[in-house]
């Protein structure tokens, strides 16, 4: 898997640790627990350029929380995150709040929602809307997608965050289902302000993502 994951939510730190160790022993770290500093970020970038040692060639590092990194530290991470490929040392990122993660970081990772213990999952007024809009997207109901986006007027970015949370649950069960939607949501979340049109575009139903519909969407 080439994409770097960013776990977020109440159980994100623990899940990042679990998946990192399942991938391979820690190469170093963890990094960023007291706020990721520039020197730490440079060290992470350096490690990510290394080829993992050993016969299995798999080593990991855990970095986060990404929503509390210090000013200027994210720049040192961007290239290593974007260009990661096996068998290099693989970073596993985590955050408490996806909305506080730098848009440039978000544009280069695959966010995965991780709930905490039962009853600890924080919900917002758009949690249900996020689940419904993903259901509409995957079932091919463009009218429903548009309606839900219109109802979230002024909170389009928040809706996409909740939609990404709902979609991550779908992808756990079926990794091939909705990957195009995942990519378009991730791209939309890379900007700080999301318009209604950009929100609808990110949630465009899978069955309608043909060349003809793309022409209509960009015209």
Torsion region of 143: left, alpha or beta (phi above 0 gives left; psi -120 to 50 gives alpha): alpha
| Three-class SS state of 109 | strand
| Three-class SS state of 6 | strand
Give the pLDDT of the chain (219 residues) as one tens digit per residue: 347 889 988 788 888 988 888 888 888 988 988 888 888 888 988 888 887 776 667 888 999 899 888 777 777 777 667 666 666 788 999 998 888 888 888 888 888 888 765 444 456 788 899 999 999 999 999 999 999 999 999 999 889 988 987 887 777 666 667 778 887 887 787 676 889 999 999 999 978 876 434 444 444
- Beta-carbon count within 10 A of 170 CB: 17
Q: What is the Cα–Cα distance from 69 to 111, expressed in whole angstroms?
A: 17
Query: What ranges do the domains of the chain cover?
Result: 4-113, 127-208
Q: What is the Cα–Cα distance from 55 to 154, expressed in whole angstroms?
A: 52
pTM equals: 0.59
Enter the tokens of residue 203. 């949630």
CATH superfamily of 4-113: P-loop containing nucleotide triphosphate hydrolases (3.40.50.300)
- Whether residue 86 contacts residue 53, with contact meaning beta carbons closer than 8 Å, is answered with no
DSSP single-letter state for residue 94: E
């Amino acid at each position: 898997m080439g994409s770097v994951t960013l776990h977020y939510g109440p159980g994100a730190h623990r899940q990042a640790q679990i998946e990192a160790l399942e991938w391979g022993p820690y190469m170093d770290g963890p990094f960023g627990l007291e706020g990721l500093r520039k020197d730490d970020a440079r060290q992470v970038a350096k490690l990510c350029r290394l080829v993992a040692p050993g016969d299995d060639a798999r080593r990991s590092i855990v970095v986060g929380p990404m929503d509390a990194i210090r000013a200027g530290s994210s720049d040192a991470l961007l290239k290593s995150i974007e260009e990661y490929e096996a068998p290099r040392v693989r970073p596993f990122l985590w955050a408490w709040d996806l909305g506080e993660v730098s848009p440039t970081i978000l544009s280069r990772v695959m966010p995965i929602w991780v709930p905490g213990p039962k009853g600890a999952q924080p919900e917002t007024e758009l949690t249900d809307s996020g689940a419904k809009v993903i259901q509409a997207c995957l079932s091919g109901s463009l009218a429903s997608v548009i309606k839900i986006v219109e109802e979230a007027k002024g909170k389009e970015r928040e809706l996409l965050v909740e939609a990404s949370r709902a979609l991550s649950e779908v992808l756990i069960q079926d990794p091939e289902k909705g990957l195009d939607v995942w990519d378009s949501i991730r791209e939309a979340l890379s900007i700080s302000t999301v318009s209604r049109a950009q929100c609808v575009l990110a949630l465009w139903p899978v069955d309608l993502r043909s060349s003809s519909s793309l022409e209509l969407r960009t015209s």
